[in-house]
Structure 1
Amino acid sequence: MRPLHIALAALVAAVWGVNFVVIELGLAHFPPLLFSALRFLVAALPAVFLVGRPTVAWNGVSPARAKSRAWGYVVGVGLALGVAKFGLLFIGMDRGMPAGLSSLVLQVQAVFTALFAALALSERPGRTRVLGMGIALAGIGVAAVDEGAGGPVLAFVLVIAAAACWGVSNVITRKAAPRDSLNFMVWVSTVPIVPLLGLSLLFEGWDRDTEALAALDWTGAGTVVYVAWISTVFGFAAWGFLLRHHPASSVAPFTLLVPVFGMSSAALLLGEPVSPLRWCAAALLVGGVALTSLARPRPAVAPPLPGAEQAERMPA
């Protein structure tokens, strides 16, 4: 990778790491579900009017069916990523999950992605990937012990559930194979707005939501702008640019810097302590995620078809 592209990849990792600190600041101004809805509302508007319709890999189907699939994938990712993953993450952090620890624990999504890909895409994990999954899960266990000693266990579980939902959205996105990641993400951002607003009114209440909006100040507005335009629009646009110019194996390792920036920025800006156990969890989780993410899955072999030779089925 060119030095400029390396700097851009590191910048995106920093943006996504600091994003957890911004989320914690925003939760002081908004209820979690309302804050998540505002994130996607601002990310989608007006960008949705400036991009074309979502396009995904045709895979030999007709253009009409490809368009129908594209909308289906947009809705699927929007619900799994926007409503489930971010809804659970924001609620978990609102209930006391620290920003730095959240940035670390959420990376277990790589393990869930590998597991769900094995089930849905017939990607058989090799020995290296299985080893990485085991090391990452050991890191989660150490983090759970550390958090259980003085933090809310339910909040920790909610962030784990958010990571699982992220894994689901990753598998759907891989199946969709969008041609333009920014275009796809903008359309995905339109899906969670109404469900999240409805859930916010149902569980957080009209009075709490309107009170938060009436008390909106520059700090609150700034957190929404950061998580929507900088973390979502800029982050995914830059990431998509890097993936179009370099192999995924060259770009993906930079995501391992996200918890580094997340934990360090939380310590510097929020004063979050980083215990020896948490550093141990970070080393195990980052190392395990690296093995899980960078190891190539073994291709599955399809059963022989009647009257035809046996053929290899490559992972989708």
Structure 2
Amino acid sequence: MILARRFKHGATGQQTAHNRFPLHAVPWLAGAIAAGGVAGPALLMLGLNTTPAATGSLLLNLEGVFTALIAWIVFRENVDLQVFLGMAAIVAGGVALSWQPGAAGLPPGTLLLVGACACWAVDNNLTRKVSTHDAMFIACIKGLVAGSVNVALALTLGARWPNLSSVALAMLTGFAGYGVSLVLFVVALRNLGTARTGAYFSVAPLFGVTLSWLLWPELPPLLFWVAAALMTLGVWLHIRERHEHPHTHEPLEHTHRHRHDAHHQHEHDFAWDGEEPHTHAHHHAHHHAPITHAHAHFPDIHHRHTH
């Protein structure tokens, strides 16, 4: 991811001096790494030692639920009945997809898996606080810190290094599943808010089952089609959402890729070549009065107001 970020900046000629990660955001990122990068995976591994895979798959659906609840209750992200029902349908689809009749009840590792889901939910909500900044940088730092800590923890507990080919395959999988995926997740947090991003992320198992079906052709079971229908319904309910009311944009300082649209009317304190979109730290209401207007919007970085 570091190499990809260097290549991106070299190809686009971005001026990274205007794209530094601010000190005031470090505690939020540190909390996200500790909760989701270190504690979450550790609890998952410990929990799976005493929990059947079927039960574990079911419990992992709790991440989306916990993410939405924290976003709605703690961070006061707006929610209406349609969004709530959409979230419920997506979670129900995940349960249907991972349901295995006759699976064990609640083994000892259950609470550890629930704890892992809670950690990832905290991670998602804390990452939302820094989603205004460079998503690739956030992914790099989370990967470096969490990966180093977890590898050190594994070696301390007696794990041995696998062979080189296994390491290479694991790194390739990690680059896609934890690197690129995290970058896209952060950008989604920036534009959609936490609960909706968590809901869409919860459809991931559907892609996994579909891919395995394509690689190893067999007729999917009935529950697959039930899950697909529920998840499609949930996403459709979210997509048709139209949240619109008069709102005021207060002063806000952040860094993200933007155009000079209605939410980005500012001047530059550095030489600008006129290229858009571009990235630099910018302070809303530095050069104009707070904006009050009405339009359809999500709880993105510009619309985190109370109702």
User: Does structure 2 retain, via aligned residues, the 8 Å contact 1:117–1:123?
Assistant: yes
> 5 Å matches for 1:16-31?
none
2:211 paired with 1:259? no
Task: Check 1:243–1:199 CA distance in 2 against 1; reply closer, same or farther (3 A cut).
Answer: closer
Q: How far apart are the structure 2 equivalents of 1:186 and 1:122?
A: 29
Q: How far apart are the structure 2 equivalents of 1:243 and 1:256?
A: 14
User: Does structure 2 retain, via aligned residues, the 8 Å contact 1:79–1:192?
Assistant: yes
User: Does structure 1 retain, via aligned residues, the 8 Å contact 2:71–2:77?
Assistant: yes
How far the C-alpha of 1:238 sits from its partner, in A, is: 6.0
Select which of 9, 24, 27 maps to 1:69. Answer: 24
* SS across alignment from 2:66: helix
Q: Which residue of 2 aligns with 1:315?
A: 304
Q: Which residue of 1 aligns with 2:76?
A: 122
1:22-56 Cα offsets, whole Å, 9 max, x none, are: xxxxxxxxxxxxxxxxxxxxx67x77999979856
- The one-letter code matched in structure 1 to 2:178 is T
> 5 Å matches for 1:189-208?
189-201=143-155, 205-206=157-158
Q: How far apart are the structure 2 equivalents of 1:284 and 1:181?
A: 31
Select which of 10, 24, 36 maps to 1:81. Answer: 36
Q: Which residue of 1 aligns with 2:53?
A: 97
Q: How far apart are the structure 2 equivalents of 1:161 and 1:287?
A: 29
- The one-letter code matched in structure 1 to 2:23 is S
User: Does structure 1 retain, via aligned residues, the 8 Å contact 2:61–2:91?
Assistant: no
Select which of 149, 154, 175 maps to 2:102. Answer: 149
User: Does structure 1 retain, via aligned residues, the 8 Å contact 2:29–2:126?
Assistant: no
Task: Check 1:277–1:47 CA distance in 2 against 1; reply closer, same or farther (3 A cut).
Answer: closer
Q: Which residue of 1 aligns with 2:233?
A: 287
How far the C-alpha of 1:221 sits from its partner, in A, is: 2.0
- The one-letter code matched in structure 2 to 1:80 is A
Task: Check 1:109–1:267 CA distance in 2 against 1; reply closer, same or farther (3 A cut).
Answer: same
- The one-letter code matched in structure 2 to 1:82 is G
> 5 Å matches for 1:168-187?
168-187=122-141
User: Does structure 1 retain, via aligned residues, the 8 Å contact 2:38–2:150?
Assistant: yes
State the TM-score, normalizing by the size of structure 2. Answer: 0.56
Q: How far apart are the structure 2 equivalents of 1:105 and 1:279?
A: 20
How far the C-alpha of 1:159 sits from its partner, in A, is: 5.5
Task: Check 1:153–1:198 CA distance in 2 against 1; reply closer, same or farther (3 A cut).
Answer: farther
Q: How far apart are the structure 2 equivalents of 1:279 and 1:160?
A: 27
Q: Which residue of 1 aligns with 2:163?
A: 216
Q: More helix by proportion, 1 or 2?
A: 1
How far the C-alpha of 1:72 sits from its partner, in A, is: 1.1
> 5 Å matches for 1:267-306?
267-269=213-215, 274-285=220-231, 287-288=233-234, 291=237, 295=241
User: Does structure 1 retain, via aligned residues, the 8 Å contact 2:97–2:206?
Assistant: no
> 5 Å matches for 1:153-168?
154=107, 161-168=115-122
User: Does structure 2 retain, via aligned residues, the 8 Å contact 1:118–1:125?
Assistant: yes
Select which of 232, 243, 266 maps to 2:178. Answer: 232
1:269-307 Cα offsets, whole Å, 9 max, x none, are: 5789953235424533553366468747799x9xxxxxx
Q: How far apart are the structure 2 equivalents of 1:72 and 1:159?
A: 25
Task: Check 1:169–1:116 CA distance in 2 against 1; reply closer, same or farther (3 A cut).
Answer: same
Q: More strand by proportion, 1 or 2?
A: 2
Gaps of 5+ in 2: 10-15, 248-291, 293-301
Structure with the larger RCO, 1 or 2 (CA within 8 Å, 6+ apart) = 1
Q: Which residue of 1 aligns with 2:271?
A: none
User: Does structure 2 retain, via aligned residues, the 8 Å contact 1:105–1:140?
Assistant: no
Q: Which residue of 1 aligns with 2:268?
A: none
User: Does structure 2 retain, via aligned residues, the 8 Å contact 1:138–1:284?
Assistant: yes
Give the count of matched residue pairs. Answer: 239
Task: Check 1:80–1:265 CA distance in 2 against 1; reply closer, same or farther (3 A cut).
Answer: same
Q: How far apart are the structure 2 equivalents of 1:284 and 1:236?
A: 25
Task: Check 1:85–1:285 CA distance in 2 against 1; reply closer, same or farther (3 A cut).
Answer: farther
Tell me how large the CA RMSD over aligned residues is.
4.8
Q: How far apart are the structure 1 equivalents of 2:232 and 2:130?
A: 27
How far the C-alpha of 1:167 sits from its partner, in A, is: 2.4
Q: Which residue of 2 aligns with 1:134?
A: 88
How far the C-alpha of 1:257 sits from its partner, in A, is: 6.0
Q: How far apart are the structure 1 equivalents of 2:215 and 2:115?
A: 27
Q: How far apart are the structure 2 equivalents of 1:182 and 1:268?
A: 31
How far the C-alpha of 1:181 sits from its partner, in A, is: 0.6
Gaps of 5+ in 1: 1-42, 57-66, 302-310
